[in-house]
Amino acid sequence: MKIIQAYKEDGKEWEYFQQKATLKNPLVLVFGNRYLLEKSEIIENIRAEFPYENIVFGSTAGEILCCHVNDNSISVTVIEFENATYKVERENILDFNKNAVELGRSLYGKMPKDNLKHLFVLSEGSFVNGSSLINGLETNLNSSLSITGGMCGDDARFEKTVASFKENPKEGEVILIGFYGESLEISFASFGGWIPFGPERIITRSEGNILYEIDGQPALDLYKKYLGEKSNELPQASLLYPLNVTPDGKKDPVVRTILNINDEDQSMILAGDVPVNSRVQLMMASVDGIAQGAQTAANLAMTKRKNKPELALLVSCIGRKLVMNQRVEEEVEQVREVVGDKVPLAGFYSYGEMAPFNGSTSCELHNQTMTLTLISE
């Protein structure tokens, strides 16, 4: 595997981490600030600097490259596989009347199945229900096949996200990358480091990812009481106080970030499903707890590996970034210490992370986690 990484801050020249070279039929991952990805002159510059066919674009809430976290930049990772191969497919949620399940089924149906080892998802992040997308992808999925990935971001604005494959970035795109080959070794893990607090309550009314009532009370009203003065800063303030949700009949909780609120019906729109009868608690975190969570994720991803990873794809949550603030690079450094300082790191801060629970292959949508995908061939 050959990898070249570079980044460009707005108005500046490209900075490379390896010697600039031409690679053969590489997969090119471009993560960047949404405002930059919407500028045609920026896209033209990227295509001129990296004149390859298979370019995947995604907007972020922060770009991860090497052990740095950048804002208002473009980060590029160019990957040439020596033994493995890859295939990229795309669909747009607007072509499916925003039905993420149907989109997921269609997208996986387009993917060749022979020697398929792993799927990586890069999804629109502002209105796609990530849980439903995963359900669609897994409808006819081989039980041994794993899925990881994330939902695009837009800093802490929550206005819109953009993504694309080959085309210029636009709204509604969901990209699926399939990795193929007997020599591939792909491991993954996801961990948070957030702590539940307050009483455990029951979700009494919800529809998909819209939460209406907790313990028979309007969900938003109850949430505002907990936040106090910070409730005036919703929905951004909710990134610091997500919900710990344990669906009925399941032992493993998932964390849910609140993407938006509706004052008229006192509901909250979350990044993934919040089923009725789920147990729910508020959560909070410290900088040290989040950094430790990233280290735990890295240790889990490395546990059963036979070979050293050659690339680490990191998807972390915007909420973690806001809590850590100036210390945000500490969680990336924790990952680097575990996977090895020679391993190229690439990724982004997201509106949702996708990975199975530890020990499982069934994918889940997570919020507020550090999610890793480690690849070698």
Average pLDDT over residues 340-344: 96
3-state DSSP helix/strand/coil % of the chain, to nearest 5? 25, 40, 35
Peptide bond connecting 344 to the previous residue in cis, omega within 30 degrees of 0:
no
More confident residue, 359 or 362: 362
- Written as six digits, the tokens of 280 are 């729910």
CA distance 116 to 179: 6
Helical H segments across the chain, by residue range: 34-37, 40-49, 100-109, 130-137, 219-227, 287-302, 318-324, 329-339
The sign of the dihedral angle between the CA atoms of 38, 41, 46, 50 is positive
Candidates 132, 139, 192; CA nearest to 366 is 192
pLDDT at 156: 87
pTM of structure: 0.92
CA distance 364 to 357: 7
- Written as six digits, the tokens of 286 are 């410290």
pLDDT above 70 as % of the chain: 100
Q: How confident is the model at residue 177 (pLDDT cuts 50, 70, 90)?
A: very high
pLDDT at 160: 95
* Other Cβ atoms closer than 10 A to 71: 15
Q: What is the mean pLDDT of the chain?
A: 94
Find where tokens 């837009």 sit. 154
* Other Cβ atoms closer than 10 A to 72: 14
Residue 353 confidence (pLDDT) above 90: yes
- Written as six digits, the tokens of 254 are 């998932």
Residues 114 and 179: beta-carbon distance below 8 Å: no
pLDDT tens-digit readout, 125-154: 988 999 999 999 999 998 889 999 999 999
Between CA 11 and CA 16, with CA 13 as vertex, the angle to 5 degrees is: 140
DSSP state of 17: S
Average pLDDT over residues 223-233: 86
pLDDT tens-digit readout, 280-326: 999 988 899 999 999 999 999 999 899 999 999 999 999 999 999 99
Residues 196 and 282: beta-carbon distance below 8 Å: yes
pLDDT at 332: 97
pLDDT above 90 as % of the chain: 81
If DSSP codes are grouped into helix, strand and coil, which group holds residue 83? coil
